[in-house]
Structures are given as C-alpha cells and as structure tokens.
Structure 1
Amino acid sequence: MEMFFNYKYLSKKHLKGFDTYKYSAIDTSPLSNYVMHPLWNVSVKLLPKWIAPNLLTFAGFLLMVAAVVLLGIYDYGCYGPLRATVQVVPDWVFTACAVFIFVSYNLDGMDGKQARRIGLSGPLGEMFDHGLDSYVVFFIPYALVTVFGRDHGYTISVFRGFLLVMSVSLNFYVSHCEKYNTGTLYLPWGYDISMWVSSLLFLMPGLYGPRVYHTYLFGYKFVNLLEIVVHATGLFTTLPITIYNIYIAKRNRTILNKSVIGMVRPVWSMLLMNAAILVWVIKSPNNILEYDPKAFILVYGTFFSNISCRLIVAEMSKQRCDVITWMCWPLLAGVSVSLYLPHLEIAVLYIIFVLSLAAHIHYGVCVVRQMCRHFKIQCFTVPKNKWK
C-alpha cells in the first residue's frame, strides 16, 4: 500500500517553489476580524500543543463528510425530509448537521493559529487546508439539497439545485484564480457569512421542523430567494472584485502572469469540465441527474476538487498550472459513451465516480507524502520539542 502512494506528482521546480513560499492573504471581513478571529485566538489556547494543526483541518473535513453521509442515509434520492405528510428525516439529523458544519468551520479557523502557536507554519499546512476546503465548499450546498428536497411547492428542481452547487464551488475557484495571478488570497466577506448562514439553515429545521421554510419572504418563496442570493453573490461580488484586483495588480506591475493568455490559463480545465458535465445533464438519455443526484453531483465535486487542488499547488509553488488537466479526458470519454450508448450510461456514471475518487485520493495522498518527505515533517504529528 505504501508503494502505491509513492508516485511523485511534484517536480523539482514545484518543491523549489514551495521552499520560498510565503503566505499572503487579505481578510477585511468585519465578522472575521472582530468576532471569529478573537474567538479562535482564545479557543486555540485551550488545545494541547501535541495536537497537529493538520489534524484539526482533517477533523473538520471528516465532520463535513459525516453530515453528507448522515443525510445520504435518510434521503439518498434528495426528495427532502417530507414524503406527503410523513417526515422521513428526523429533526435531530438537521441539528447534528448544523453542529458539524459550525464546528468544522471553527476548526478550519483554528488550524492556522495552532500552527503559528507551536511554530509549525508552512506550505504543507496551507496546501492541506485549501485542498480539503475545495471539497468542503462543495459539500455544504450538496448537503443543503436535502433541506429543501424536490417535487413539492416550496423547492426547486434538482437541476437548479445542482446549479447552486456549481455557483458556490466556482466562487471558491475564482478566488484561487485571483491568487494564481496576484500572489495574494483575498478572502471574501461572504465566506464567514455563508458558514454562519449554512449552519443556521440546518439548525432551523432541527429546532422547528422542515416546514419552517415553507414560507414567502419579500414576495418570493424562501428557497427561491436563497437561490437568487447565492447566484448574485458570485456574479456581482466575487467575480467583479477578482477582476478588479487582478487589474490593480497588472496596473501596479505586481501581476505574476504578464500576458492575458497566462492570466486565464487556470480557466480552461474548469471550463471544459463544467461544460462536459452540463452537456451530460442536459442531453442525458436516461435523465442521469434525476436518476441518482447524489452520485452525479459527487462526481462533479470530485472533478472540481481535483482541478482546484492542482491550481492550489501551482499557485503556491509559482509554477504554471495545466492548460487542461488530464482527468478531463476520461470525463469527456464517459460523457460521449453515455450519450451515444444510452444503455451503458448508468454503469458509466458509477465507473467514473469510483475512478475519479480513487485518482483524486491518490493525487492528494501522494502530494502530501512527497511534501512531508521534502520538508522532513509528519503531516499529523507534532515533534515533542514543540509540546512545551
């Protein structure tokens, strides 16, 4: 098993880039600066110093996995918590998910502070954090589909729910495209707000039952209003601010990629993957998204996370990212087979799911192991001389 995860995805140039990497981020969110950071500064002092920062990060990720698994057990088909007059998803499940998300968010905020507290800050921790975030950012809207369900008067279609997943995920990617060009991660205000809102969106049906969202606000169904806010956040805040920051960096001659072709290099893999997925959804002969929304959207999230992780590695090591990530080609092949050989479509979905997940896990584990060997550190272990 150990030999299987010894593949070297990182070149010598990648590792040399990591050697000189310095963290650069700007966070102007009032909620983050005046509420969360003071809270995390106090909370981290309660943690034993033998707890590795990456262990906090991974624990938070596992809590998100637990929320997704729990909702999948009770509502695999994304029909929601109600079947006619029968409630099939217990209230405690929503309460548990709210707690999982909020604790995961706080662990994600404390890991870096724990690293600085014990003197273990470094590129591995940031890469590990952002890499897992690329899955977490997809998990939250993925889990919220169950809160609202489908096929009743107060929900949206599975396709529109999938578009929400895409919208939230792409906001994350846009921010990292910005860092790829500017060298600085501008943390959007919406991140902290979205984590609080996501926790509350699960907590409310946990406390008052799932019918709490069967209501209208400002003349809109609650879920439709949420849909508008999510899409508007990306189109009118994240994207314009990213373009502006890249423009300012270019004007000030601090831009890392001088040409327009270099600036848009991260776009093509993500664009191709999203286009292929959308074509599959729209042209699917077996209505694949309706058939198994959990599996299909998880395939999307896995490809999204892999492309994002490769961009994160490139931005941190100051290397050029791939124009087209190799994993896009098996996806295109799978979509083509599904469209032209409809009787194989269901099998193709599950084959792509298994292979993409295995490939992504292999990439992540191998990159982390390679960085650990390079920096002569352990991912989940704190040296005893740091315990004091």
Structure 2
Amino acid sequence: MGYVGQHGVATLRRYKYSGVDHSLVAKYILQPFWARFVNLFPLWFPPNMITLTGFMFLLTSAFLGFFYSPHLDTAPPRWVHLAHGLLLFLYQTFDAVDGKQARRTNSSSPLGELFDHGCDALACAFEALAFGSTAMCGKATFWYWFIAAVPFYCATWEHFFTNTLILPIVNGPTEGLMLIYLCHFFTFFTGAEWWAQDFRKSIPLLNWVPLVPEIPVYGLALFLMIAFAVIPTIASNIHNVYKVVEARKGSMLLALAMLFPFGLLLAGVLVWSYLSPSDIMRNQPHLLIIGTGFAFGFLVGRMILAHLCDEPKGLKTGMCMSLAYFPFAIANALTACLDDGNPLVDEQLVLLMYCLFTAAAMGFSRSPPPYLSLIAMAANSSNSSGEVVSNRTMMTATSGMKGASFASGGSGVLDSTGTTISMTKQIQHFSDLRDQISTILSTDKASTLLSKSIFIISAGGNDAFDFFSQNKSPDSTAIQEFCEALISTYDSHVKTLYNLGARKFAVINVPFLGCCPYLRSQSPTGECMEPLNQLAKRLNGEIWDLFSDLSSEMQGMKYSIASSYELISSLIENPQAAG
C-alpha cells in the first residue's frame, strides 16, 4: 500500500520545517549544551542515526525494567534507577541534536522529521515502562503512557493545522523529560518503595491531609500531572487549532474528527482490559503498552505524513487500520464469560499477536517487493483500467523508488550457478527500473536518488556450494581458478552497479557453509566439511580486498561488510557464549 501520491511527492520537495520552543530551561541551559555536544559527531554521521541511537537508549532502559520487574510492581536494584536516568538523559540529548546535525550537514528533510517524531511517538511507550519499574506502578503504568501520549498526539494535531510545532514555556520534551530523569536519580537514593507507599508516609509534610484515602505517591503524581500539565496543554492545543480553523473559515468539527482514531485506540484498550479475564493491564503490562505504543506510533506517523504531504484536513480513514485488531481481542475476552473465565484463545498469545499486528501495520513486516512483482502488478492494473502502457512505467517506477528486490533464490555471482535468475540478469532488471525512474524524475534526480540508496548484496555462498558439489576433492589449482573467476565476475558486477548510479553497498559475505545441517548429516561423525569452510574464509578475504580496492578507485563509493561467517562460526564453536 502506498502512502504518498503524486501531489504528496511534489509537496515534499517544497516542505520546510517550522518550530518554536519557548522553554527557558532549553534556551538558557540545554541549548548551549546541545550546541557543543553536536560537535562530537563527525560531519559524515547521519542525523537519522543519531535519532536511532537515542531511541535505542530507551529500548535498553525498558528492557532493564522488564528484566528486573516483569510486572512493574517489584523493586529493581537501585543501580537500575540510575541507569534509567542516564539513558533518558542521553535520549533527550540525542533527540535534540539530531536536528542540529541535519542543519550542520545541510541534510534536513521531511523524512528526517517523520523518522524523528515517529521515534518520539514510540518512545512514549518505552519511557512509560521504564518509569513504571522505577515507581513500581504496576497496572497504573498504562496511565503514565497515557499522560505522555495524549499531549504528544494533540501537539502533532496542532502542528498539522498551524504548520508550526509550538512548544510552550513548560513542555514535555524539555521540562517533562528532565523531571522524569530527575525522578529516576531521586529513586536511586530512596528506593522504589518510596513511590509505592501512601503519600503521607513518603512526604511527612503532608501527613496532616484529612479525608483522603490511601494513595501511593505514583498515584498522586499521576493526578497532579493530569490536572496541571495534561489538561492545560490539551486546552491550549484546541484553542490554537480553533483560531486557525476560524481564520480559514473551516469546520472545527472536521478538525476534531482527526482525534477520533486516537480516542478509538484508547477506548479499545480500556474495554479490552476491563473485560480481560487474566487482567492483562496488571499481568502483561509490557505487551499491552508496547502493542498500544506501536498503534499510537502508526497514528502519529500517518498524521505527520499527511501534514508533510499537505493532505486535506479531516479524518484519515487509513489511520484506523492499526485498530482493526480490537474487535477480535474484545470478542475473545467475552468468550471467557461462557467458559468459567477461560477465553477461547490464551490472552498472552492474543497480546503477542496484538504487538505483531500493530508492528505490521506500521510497516515493520515489509521488505522491498520483488521487481518482477511490481511489473506484474502494474501490468494487471493497467489492463484492468484500460490505461496506456506508459502508465505501467509510472506505477513500476513510483513503487520502485521506495525499494525493490532483484534477488533470486539459488543464484550466485557466476551466471553458471543455479537455474534461476542470474546476477547479470538481476542487474539488468535494476537497469530497467533505473530507466523507468529517470522518465519520472529526470536523469539527474534519478541519479541523486540512487546515490543515496543502499544496495544490499548477499552472494558467493551458492557459488562455493555448487563448486564443491561438482568437485568432491578439488586440488589447489581448481580452487585457485574458481576464486579468480568468482572475484573477477564480482568485480565486474559491482562496477556495473556503480556505473548505473549505485554508491552505497551493504555486503553480506560468504557464510560458514561447511557446517550447514545437510553437510553434517552426510558425515559419518556429524562433523563439518572443513575444506568448504576454508574456501568460504578465503573468498571472504578476497571480497574484503575487492571492496577496499574498488572504494579507492571509484569516487563516492562507500561499503559495509557484514560477516555472516564470523557470526555463525562463533555460535557453532562456542554455543554457550550466547546463553
């Protein structure tokens, strides 16, 4: 499914980000620090990699919380709170400097904004889980995700209408995150139990408060943040959107309709949790919040993309796609009423499927489509609609600009390997797609697009396997001739790709072939075929030298080699090292 139409493509070329941060803490304390911190990154370091690295800090933090407090109701070791605080501080810092790196390297783009804010949307879930372990929130952790997600969604909604991301004098990305990591550091000294006991015990100055039932500190903090942060922020967002809609003579009802998918998400989760026979919010908080966080990320991403592409204001029906799982989950919970509290499908499995479904809706399950499938789909669409053949080219090129796979199972570097589509033919298919893209974008723009694309090559293993299948005990001369032929052909293929516009190569080398299950089953002792492993090792050395030489010869060529050989051999030789 495509997300960007022709109007969107044209709009993306003109898009310019606009944002205002009124935070005094950011202006006088953090901005000077961030301005110096960004200089630690070399100019070649991509801004999106800074964003991703910052996001990985939060993933690490959430994993620590899960490992030491699976239900978020037991106290982890105190050093975990310190780690949570440091990791969140690093996330905030990296999230702030990625944009500075983009401006520093003149690489700002709509994609960078979508990736940055998309990661921030997912971060709401993982930081809520980290704080849940620090404060022993248990099932109340969901509501900490709620107080992060609601202002985030409303700010994105406001940005959609005002075209400027407005951060007030006190805001979540600055003061909000700072407050949270200070709470993590504070808990390092007090222990998580401080949050779980009645607030009158934890805060002696409040022990005089009468007529209030026993409330844990995290519950009081939740109430105060909703009352004094979330509600005023939402009111400000609605007011700002109302002013824009009124000025444009638009419909406020249509604007509010864009909040409907998020409301539906919250309603679906709460109804499911209420009916759940296994109390999923208490017993499976990580799965519930991660799955909901993925669905939230999809909603935010679709709204950001609609803004980037200047789509019409109003409800985006495609945003509801990630919510289609709830009827099944709720119906399954209801079946427990018919069978003494036992649902038709175990709820832990339902939660796992929920996470997978929402991840798939976000696109995590998608890989580049096969090129020949793009050709077939374009041909079928053209035939059914009566369009001219030139439109097939447009459809194929438009899809191919998002990525395509030219691989063929069983093929190799040498055309003689396998009986499928040879690598030479695969490169010809790429050349055809390149020509089709050039007819849409122009030759220069197509060259720019391809120079920024990553070309993944995984080849050589089938060639080596085929060579040994035909030569049971090859002598050194035969091995030498085979290696020379393969490397020479590999060299030719890479140069052809370079001449067609490829500049960035990700190479997966020849794997640890001699220890594959089939060959070990053929050995009376179950041992690996060591000569084949030695050939793979030799080829990998020559492939490394080949790309090193080519990168010196060909201007602008960059490459990275992933050693599948080392990965697999280390697991086989020392399996206990991986746990």
- Normalising TM by the smaller chain, what interval? 0.7 to 0.9
Which of 190, 198, 202 is the equivalent residue of 2:171? 190
| Displacement after TM superposition at 1:239 (Å) | 0.8
- Give the equivalent residue in structure 2 for 1:358: 360
Structure 2: runs of 5 or more not aligned: 210-214, 337-342, 369-398, 404-436, 438-445, 455-503, 505-554, 558-579
Residue 348 of structure 1 aligns with an amino acid whose one-letter code is V
| Displacement after TM superposition at 1:268 (Å) | 1.6
Secondary structure of the structure 2 residue equivalent to 1:186: strand
Inter-partner Cα distance in structure 1 for 2:297 and 2:307: 15
Q: In 2 relative to 1, CA 79–211 (structure 1 residues): closer, same or farther, beyond 3 Å?
A: closer
Residue 162 of structure 2 aligns with an amino acid whose one-letter code is T
User: Cα RMSD over matched residues?
Assistant: 2.9
Q: Contact 1:135/1:301 (CA < 8 Å) preserved in 2?
A: yes
Q: How does 1:373-384 map to 2 (within 5 A)?
A: 376=449, 378=452
Which of 123, 134, 137 is the equivalent residue of 1:136? 123
- Give the equivalent residue in structure 1 for 2:402: 370
- Give the equivalent residue in structure 2 for 1:280: 272
Q: How does 1:7-86 map to 2 (within 5 A)?
A: 8-81=2-75
| Displacement after TM superposition at 1:378 (Å) | 4.1
Residue 74 of structure 2 aligns with an amino acid whose one-letter code is G
Residue by residue over 1:77-119, the C-alpha shift from the partner in whole angstroms, topping out at 9 and shown as x without a partner, is: 21221xxxxxxx2211111111110011000000100111111
Residue by residue over 1:162-212, the C-alpha shift from the partner in whole angstroms, topping out at 9 and shown as x without a partner, is: 223212211100101111122111124222111111111111222443344
Alignment pair present for 1:331 and 2:326: yes
Residue by residue over 1:239-289, the C-alpha shift from the partner in whole angstroms, topping out at 9 and shown as x without a partner, is: 111112112223443x8xx22243123212111111111111112223222
Inter-partner Cα distance in structure 2 for 1:22 and 1:274: 32
- Give the equivalent residue in structure 2 for 1:172: 152
- Give the equivalent residue in structure 1 for 2:141: 161
Secondary structure of the structure 2 residue equivalent to 1:13: helix
| Displacement after TM superposition at 1:148 (Å) | 2.1
Q: Contact 2:272/2:326 (CA < 8 Å) preserved in 1?
A: no
Residue by residue over 1:102-142, the C-alpha shift from the partner in whole angstroms, topping out at 9 and shown as x without a partner, is: 01100000010011111111111111100100011222122
The structure that has the greater radius of gyration is 2
Structure 1: runs of 5 or more not aligned: 1-6, 82-88, 151-156
Name the stretch that deviates more: 36-45 or 339-348. Answer: 339-348
Secondary structure of the structure 2 residue equivalent to 1:327: helix
Residue 344 of structure 1 aligns with an amino acid whose one-letter code is V
Inter-partner Cα distance in structure 2 for 1:344 and 1:119: 52
Q: In 2 relative to 1, CA 240–379 (structure 1 residues): closer, same or farther, beyond 3 Å?
A: farther
Q: TM-score, normalised by structure 2?
A: 0.58
Inter-partner Cα distance in structure 1 for 2:260 and 2:194: 41
Q: TM-score, normalised by structure 1?
A: 0.84
Number of residue-to-residue matches in the alignment = 360
Q: Contact 1:10/1:370 (CA < 8 Å) preserved in 2?
A: no
Residue 355 of structure 2 aligns with an amino acid whose one-letter code is F
Q: In 2 relative to 1, CA 54–313 (structure 1 residues): closer, same or farther, beyond 3 Å?
A: same
Q: Contact 1:204/1:212 (CA < 8 Å) preserved in 2?
A: no
Residue 261 of structure 2 aligns with an amino acid whose one-letter code is S
Inter-partner Cα distance in structure 1 for 2:4 and 2:330: 29
- Give the equivalent residue in structure 1 for 2:478: none
RCO higher in structure (CA 8 A, sep ≥6):
1
